[in-house]
């Protein structure tokens, strides 16, 4: 794959994932009592809802800033691993309901690979 094609694919992923995570975090903040209640019903501390919502918004913004893309993606990978585990263990329907989280996780990992530093050519 050429560097140009790789860059275009990475930018498309960055924008789409960035917007998706910003929207998800804002949605959690817009219904904070419901989000805190949902986290509580899963046996998680309510304060974690604030952390996840904030991480999603900041991570989404970070995906759009080239200097922070890989760091933001790595942080969001941690959030998405947690989401997949919660879907698999605590949410009725299991992983079938967690397909969006799995897809986002895979796309974040792909973005990290696409944005890895180019090897030095001697």
Domain boundaries, the chain: 3-114
pLDDT score of 122 more than 70 = no
Query: pLDDT exceeding 90 applies to what percent of the chain?
Result: 78
**What are the pLDDT digits (tens) for 9-37?**
999 999 999 999 999 999 999 999 999 99
> Quick count: other Cβ atoms within 10 Å of Cβ 117?
6
**What are the pLDDT digits (tens) for 94-118?**
777 789 999 999 999 999 999 988 7
Rounded to whole angstroms, how far apart are CA atoms 83 and 25?
13
Q: pTM score, two decimals?
A: 0.90
Taking the CA atoms of 107, 67, 48 and 19 in sequence, report the sign of the dihedral they define: negative
Query: pLDDT exceeding 70 applies to what percent of the chain?
Result: 98
Residue 90's alpha-carbon distances to 44, 50, 73, 93, 99, in angstroms, are 10, 20, 25, 9, 15
């Amino acid at each position: 794959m050429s560097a140009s094609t790789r860059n275009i694919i990475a930018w498309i992923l960055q924008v789409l994932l960035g917007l998706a995570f910003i929207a998800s975090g804002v949605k959690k903040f817009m219904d904070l009592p419901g989000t805190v209640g949902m986290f509580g019903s899963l046996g998680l501390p309510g304060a974690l809802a604030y952390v996840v919502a904030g991480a999603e918004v900041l991570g989404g913004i970070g995906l759009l800033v080239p200097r922070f893309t890989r760091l933001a993606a790595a942080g969001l990978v941690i959030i998405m691993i947690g989401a997949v585990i919660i879907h698999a263990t605590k949410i009725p329907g299991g992983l079938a309901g967690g397909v969006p989280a799995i897809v986002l996780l895979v796309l974040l990992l792909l973005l990290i690979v696409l944005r890895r530093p180019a090897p030095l050519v001697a």
